[in-house]
Amino acid sequence: MDIGYARVSTAKQDLSRQLDALAAAGITKVFADKRSGATRDRPGLHAAFDHARAGDVIVVHTLDRLGRTVRDTLNLMHELKERGVGVRTLADPLRIDTSDSESPMAQLAVVMLALFAEMERTYAAERAAHARAVATANGRRTGRPSVVDAPNLSTHSCFVIKARPCAK
């Protein structure tokens, strides 16, 4: 049985591209998460693993949907292999299908793509940190929007912190 798994990193991101690709591949049972791939605390991933039996294949759009670090991705792949569950990707530049456990090319592709995913995650974090530093240097505020606006600060002696109203 083919079991689909889709993941995006934040609730604001859209799963439709991955879900459409899984549906086009004929996958009818799909589990999904809207959580970072840097953590294994993903209910959809756990449900997919619990659902998978020996001989099943977990199908993902790209390998980085399973994990964003080499260590975590390889650990996941190892756990699945021990249970007789394969992994297949749909859109990676190097095709992965570990249902044939004797394929050395599949093993090589897993390691290479896991490494690329981790590198991309590192570079994305570096780009974001640089963009925040440039914005701060140019006088732009970064981070979450403030709940208190500057004009109201001067007219009130207190303001809301952690959603507690102040006494007047």
Catalytic residues: 9
CA distances (Å), origin 159, targets 133, 141, 142: 28, 20, 21
Q: Which DSSP helix (H) or strand (E) runs through 99?
A: none
Distance CA 112, CA 31 (A): 25
Q: Are 156 and 166 within 8 A, CB to CB?
A: yes
In 41-55, which positions are buried (b, 16+ CB within 10 angstroms) versus exposed (e)? ebebbeebbeebeee
Chain centroid, CA 118 distance in Å: 11
Residue with tokens 């050395």: 104
User: What number of H helices and E strands is found in the chain?
Assistant: 5, 4
